[in-house]
Amino acid sequence: MEAIPWYTYWYLFPIAFVIAIVANSSGFSGGVLFQPIYYLFIHIALPGSVATGVATETVGMTSGSIRYFMQGKVEKEIGLVLVMLTIPGAILGSHILVVLNANILRMLLGVVIIVIASIQFLSVAQGKFGSRVDVPVEDIYPFMWVPLLGGFFSATTGTGICETAQPLLERGLNIKTLRANATAIWAEAMGDWVITILNLQAGLIIWQIMIFTGTGVIIGGQIGPVVAKYMPEKFLKIFFSIAVTIIGIFYIFTSTKWLLSVLHF
């Protein structure tokens, strides 16, 4: 079999650049936007698709986190709790990914995040936006199960940490939208590093793709937080909700196709 030239996937660089700007400005997992590309056009098997998407997201969200820290937008203490609770869920999910059909989890997550998006739409309609800064860390204690689920879903499906952490921070703790986005992105980045290291050991990352997507998101990750500074909170929340809804629909659609094939419909 002829080896694939290293430059085959060059066109993913500009795509990754744009995705990183969008994700880091609005606070959702950019890696998931690669899933339709990998699944429908490049035809990558699910474990490799998820692993490469998460690896791409890792460097992109890390780039964005650095910029948000420089802007002073991260809730450091609460963010650290999110990170520490995300890691066990991510480790468990990474092991589940190789033994359990992830389509089941994708369907479940699709339903969950559509519900989350609906709540966000409702908050926009009601004019409810986060208003707090420097929130006491003990305020997150009743919600400590949320980042565990986020880490688990991110490892198994390629998304989950931002999609659960951002609404938790803004709706649950009433943190300002931009600070909620920034803190969720930091938690995503740190959780993704754990997932990526485990996927690296398992040999699941496709480097011919990663070389272009990784470069694109590093650059785009620096631009996204700058763009977010000039975006109205209402726009960020609506954009987040639309993006998450699309992700949820895609997950439900692809997992339903798998389920129908199993049932021989």
Q: List, for residues 3-59, the tens digit of each pLDDT value.
A: 678 788 999 999 999 999 988 988 888 777 787 788 778 888 777 887 898 899 999
Cα–Cα distance between 46 and 15 in angstroms, integer?
A: 20
Across the chain, mean pLDDT equals 86
| pLDDT one-digit tens code per residue, 100-145 | 676 777 787 788 778 878 887 887 788 778 889 999 999 999 999 9
| pLDDT one-digit tens code per residue, 149-176 | 988 888 877 778 888 898 899 988 999 9
Cα–Cα distance between 99 and 67 in angstroms, integer?
A: 37
Which two three-digit tokens encode residue 17? 């650049």
Q: What's at 82, amino acid-wise?
A: L
- CB-CB neighbours of 134 under 10 Å: 10
| pLDDT one-digit tens code per residue, 219-258 | 999 999 999 988 888 888 888 788 878 878 888 887 887 7
What pLDDT sits at residue 69? 96
Q: What is the DSSP string of 176-245?
A: -HHHHHHHHHHHHHHHHHHHHHHHHHHT---HHHHHHHHHHHHHHHHHHHHHHTTS-HHHHHHHHHHHHH
Which two three-digit tokens encode residue 51? 């692993």
Q: pLDDT exceeding 90 applies to what percent of the chain?
A: 41
Report DSSP state, residue 32: G
Geometric angle at alpha carbon 199, from 186 and 162, rounded to 5°: 25
| pLDDT one-digit tens code per residue, 196-229 | 998 898 888 999 999 999 999 999 999 999 999 8
What pLDDT sits at residue 61? 94
Which two three-digit tokens encode residue 114? 């559509």
Contact call for residues 147 and 86 (beta carbons, < 8 A) = yes
- CB-CB neighbours of 206 under 10 Å: 21
End-to-end CA distance of the chain: give it in Å, rounded. Answer: 35
Contact call for residues 158 and 37 (beta carbons, < 8 A) = no
Q: pLDDT exceeding 70 applies to what percent of the chain?
A: 95
pTM above 0.75, yes or no: yes
Cα–Cα distance between 145 and 118 in angstroms, integer?
A: 21
Contact call for residues 28 and 75 (beta carbons, < 8 A) = no
Contact call for residues 188 and 34 (beta carbons, < 8 A) = no
